[in-house]
Chain A
Amino acid sequence: QVTLKESGPGILQPSQTLSLTCSFSGFSLSTYGMCVGWIRQSSGKGLEWLANIWWNDDKYYNPSLKNRLTISKDTSNNQAFLKITNMDTADTATYYCARSDRTGFDYWGQGVMVTVSS
């Protein structure tokens, strides 16, 4: 059974760095073709892909946010991470991690709500 769960600070101030953790089970990020991605969704809005990390440690970022994003993984502990620097109120959203095997995101976490406010 594949499960993913996001964790994060909940609330932070503008200009701070957001650190998110995705803890997963039921698959390994060392398996050929496997990927974990991060996607966010502002309240009542659409979905925005942020970054992917692959089994071979290849990393891909949304070009519009690339300078602010860092994705990484800890394969032995079944975790993936995302850091976003210089957070702004516009980054307030629900952040999801999801698994992909190159054909869409087939399993998603429940999401973690992140609010940026002074």
Chain B
Amino acid sequence: DIQMTQSPASLSASLGETVTIECRASEDIYNGLAWYQQKPGKSPQLLIYNANSLHTGVPSRFSGSGSGTQYSLKINSLQSEDVASYFCQQYYDYPTFGGGTKLELK
């Protein structure tokens, strides 16, 4: 199975700051990658699919990039409503998720 290693596990940032979360796959996943946001007590919400495509209704301050085994999620101009946990997921093979990144406000 394809292992997804996500970093950092936790992150503290200030309002307006740019934040980057990384995800590394154990083998090439050919851009078969999604990013999710999960707020406490809620279900995950799709942000990005195909590594860099923005899901409907997701603010443009979210963006995804990467290729091969290395991918990243960037949040520009951090807002208070962005405080959440973020997960990557590959779907090139049977789905596996990264361990998550908990984003808090500094």
Contact = CB atoms under 8 A, between A and B. Distances in A.
Given A102-B91, A104-B91, A106-B55, A49 B46 contact: no
Interface string B45-69: 1100110010100000000000000
A103 B91 contact: yes
Question: Interface range on chain A: under 10, 10 to 19, 20 to 34, or 35 or more?
Answer: 20 to 34
B43 interface: yes
Interface in A55-90: 60, 62-63
B94 A49 contact: yes
B1 A63 contact: yes
Given A103-B49, A104-B89, A49 B95 contact: yes
* Candidate in A39, A63, A105, A108 with the most chain B CB atoms within 10 angstroms: A105
Contacts of B98: 46
B3 to A, nearest CB: 12
Interface string A43-54: 000111100100
A48 B95 CA distance: 9
B97 A47 contact: yes
Contacts of B99: 46
Interface string B77-103: 000000000010101001111111000
A105 B89 CA distance: 9
B95 to A, nearest CB: 4
Contacts of A111: 43
B23 interface: no
A108 B43 contact: yes
Contact of A47 (B1, B49, B53, B87): B87
A42 interface: no
Nearest to B35: A104
A105 B46 contact: yes
Contact of B44 (A47, A52, A103): A47
